[in-house]
Amino acid sequence: MKKYLFDRLREISNKIRNTDHILLYLDYDGTLVPICKNPSLAKLSPETKELLTDLSQNPCISMNIISGRSLNEIKKLIGIENILYAGNHGFEISYKQHHWVHPEAERIKPILKNVVKELKAQLNTIDGVLIEDKGLTLSIHYRNVAGKSAKDIEKIIQDIVNPYRETLRITSGKKVYEVRPKIDWDKGKAIIKMQQMLNLKEEILKIYIGDDKTDEDAFKILRENDISIVVGYKKYSKAHYFCKNSKEVILFLRHLKSLY
């Protein structure tokens, strides 16, 4: 049985108090902000922005944001300097003056651009479909679609992507299909790269909070002593703890701040 975060706050707090430094990884959509019908509506509240700023300035915490959004977009949405950002599920990472892009993902960009054009031509006629071109990946949101089933939309995407199946793959999330480079890379591998960019020791305590299937790759590689939290109870999740929603994520981050 997965453990409810706030039932285990004492044991989690003890872990945190007994470490010198924390590596904090935070997803954005569905974690720091609720999922919205249109991704452009998912904005941080001023209070949350202030809380994240305070945590980022704590010398005992290294704060990282890892998101499926493009790097530029997630940096604008958070708007805090001197923290590490990973966009496109970790295909691109930025910390201060350092910028890294997965070389294979960079190579595939022109192919993805062709797919974007073809998808727009076929899907733009369907009311409610939102196509998000993120440079290194592509998202097709269908939360606001009425009349067309998800399977119909998936078939159109598969037909277009199929000729490029050696270099691209399709994944699915919460009312969204994603087209990504077919590369052995995920959020788990990305957080290792992020830690290396920060030049922090492997044994440092990690806290990772996320809500999506893509976050499972990160949960899987964390040690037993680390703190992994999935947002929303998910039976399949490898996270050690769960919380109910993004409001509880913010409550936990406030608690984290109070421990230092």
Evaluate whether the domain defined by 105-181 bears CATH number 3.30.565.60. Answer: no
Q: What is the pLDDT of residues 148-158, one digit of tens each?
A: 777 889 999 99
What token pair was written down for 217? 């790759």
Q: What is the pLDDT of residues 79-96, one digit of tens each?
A: 999 999 999 999 999 999
DSSP string, 14-46: HHHHT-S-EEEEE--BTTTB---SSGGG----H
Please report the pLDDT score of residue 1 as a whole number: 66
**pLDDT below 70 — which residues of the chain?**
1
Please report the pLDDT score of residue 238 as a whole number: 95
User: Model-level pTM?
Assistant: 0.93
Please report the pLDDT score of residue 37 as a whole number: 78
Buried b vs exposed e over 171-186: b needs ≥16 C-beta within 10 Å? eebeebbbbbbebebb
Beta bridge partners of 26: 65, 209
In the DSSP assignment, the letter for residue 2 is P
- Cβ neighbours of residue 230 closer than 8 Å, sequence gap 6 or more: 2, 210, 211, 215, 219, 237, 239, 241, 242, 243
What token pair was written down for 49? 């922005």
Rg (CA), the chain: 19
CATH 3.30.70.1020 residue ranges in the chain?
105-181
What token pair was written down for 229? 């939290």
| Rounded CA separation 140/174 (Å) | 11
- Helix intervals (H) in 102-224: 103-123, 150-161, 187-198, 216-221
Please report the pLDDT score of residue 36 as a whole number: 83
CATH for 3-102+185-258? 3.40.50.1000
| Rounded CA separation 137/117 (Å) | 13
Neighbours of 117 (CB within 10 A): 10
Among candidates 146, 143, 208, 207, which has minimal Cα distance to 172?
Answer: 143
Please report the pLDDT score of residue 151 as a whole number: 81
Among candidates 173, 160, 186, 161, which has minimal Cα distance to 86?
Answer: 186
CATH 3.40.50.1000 residue ranges in the chain?
3-102+185-258
Active site (catalytic) residues: 27
